[in-house]
Amino acid sequence: MFTGIITDIGTVRSVEARGDTRFVIGTTYDMATVATGASIACSGCCLTVTDKGKDGDGNWFAVDASAETLGATNARDWQTGTRLNLERALRIGDELGGHIVSGHVDGTAQVVSATPEGDSLRLIFETSDDLARFIAPKGSVTLDGVSLTVNKVEGTRFGVNIIPHTQSETTLGALLPETAVNLEIDVLARYVARLEDARAAR
**pLDDT value, residue 1:** 83
Q: Which fold has domain 107-201?
A: Elongation Factor Tu (Ef-tu); domain 3 (2.40.30)
Contact 112, 168 (CB under 8 A): no
**pLDDT value, residue 198:** 67
Number of C-beta neighbours around residue 134 at 10 A: 20
**pLDDT value, residue 93:** 63
**pLDDT value, residue 191:** 67
**pLDDT value, residue 125:** 98
CATH classification number, 8-88, choose in 3.40.50.920, 2.30.29.30, 2.40.30.20, 2.40.30.170: 2.40.30.20
Could you check whether 8-88 and 107-201 share the same CATH topology? yes
**pLDDT value, residue 187:** 80
Contact 150, 134 (CB under 8 A): no
Q: What is the domain partition of the chain in residue ranges? A: 8-88, 107-201
pTM, full prediction = 0.91
**Which residues of the chain fall below pLDDT 70?**
92-98, 191, 194, 196-198
Contact 111, 179 (CB under 8 A): yes
Per-residue buried b or exposed e for 169-200, using 16+ beta carbons within 10 Å of the residue's own CB: bbbbbebeeebbbbbbbbbebeeeeeeeeeee
33: phi then psi, degrees, rounded to nearest 5: -100, 5
156: phi then psi, degrees, rounded to nearest 5: -95, 5
Q: Is 10 helix (H, G, I), strand (E, B) or coil?
A: strand
